[in-house]
Amino acid sequence: MKKNPIIIMAAMDVEADFLIEKLENMTCVDVEKYQFFEGTIENYPVVICRCYVGTINATIATYIAIQKYHPIAVISQGTAGAHGKNIHIGDLVIGQKCVNIVSAKTPRKKEGEGSNSLEWNLLKFISGQEDRLEYQLGNKHLIEFAKKVPYTDGKIHFGTLGSGDIWNQETDKILWLHQNYGTLCEDMESIAIYTVANRFKIPVLGIRVISNNEILGESYIRTTGLKSQEFCYQFILEILKDASA
């Protein structure tokens, strides 16, 4: 009987190459510009999707992946910028929740009254319904699997992923998001991946390694993407261990 795969979403080469090398019997399928690396890990089908950067790319690629492969789980994996003073490069954030940090309603201001993003409110805009704050949830079972995976390159934080098409470098803005919405980090794909997967009732979870912390002056290190991939590989093995029990 054909098994439904686990899908791993990764935006950049440095967030995907290690996992692609771990695939056995790998083949690459192009759908439009998105690449799907099909293979197996421990004889179980796994597909690594190179979705490219940004919420639009991640939305399209996740939709294609779900329609094409009907996965048992979708994992948003890669790098992120820290939103806390106690979160450092190399730390991992496991997304129990995810919130769109660029979906906002501003206060009404007249010409000449300026603009202040610290006065904005994060909201989801839903046709025919009242605007409201809404978090996308990570799958509880996948979170429990993540808790079983050891990690020695930093701390593991469980909490809220901030996500949207923005690279925040304003310390006050980052701290405002952290204090008001509980965000531990930000990336540009997870909110799309969570939203699409949840819409289709596919278990979803984000695993993000911290690549920079603007608050502490810890500059971006591109190669940290390897650490999230290594953790994600062990995470997959943990899922498969349970499936074969």
pLDDT class of 243 with cuts at 50, 70, 90: low
CA distances from 185 to 22, 67, 117, 177, 195 (A): 27, 29, 18, 9, 18
| Helix 225-244 vs helix 140-147: crossing angle, to nearest 10 | 110
pLDDT class of 237 with cuts at 50, 70, 90: very high
Average pLDDT over residues 13-42: 95
Cβ atoms of residues 171 and 79 within 8 Å: no
- The pLDDT of residue 130 is 81
pLDDT class of 212 with cuts at 50, 70, 90: very high
Question: Residue ranges per domain, the chain?
Answer: 6-244
What phi and psi, each to the nearest 5 degrees, are found at residue 102?
Answer: -120, 5
- The pLDDT of residue 244 is 58
The yes-or-no verdict on residue 196 having pLDDT over 80 is: yes
The yes-or-no verdict on residue 1 having pLDDT over 60 is: no
What CATH number matches the domain at 6-244, 3.40.50.150, 3.40.109.10, 3.40.50.1580, 2.60.200.20? 3.40.50.1580
Q: How far apart are CA 144 and CA 10, in angstroms?
A: 22
The yes-or-no verdict on residue 137 having pLDDT over 80 is: yes
Cβ atoms of residues 93 and 80 within 8 Å: yes
Average pLDDT over residues 181-206: 98
- The pLDDT of residue 128 is 76
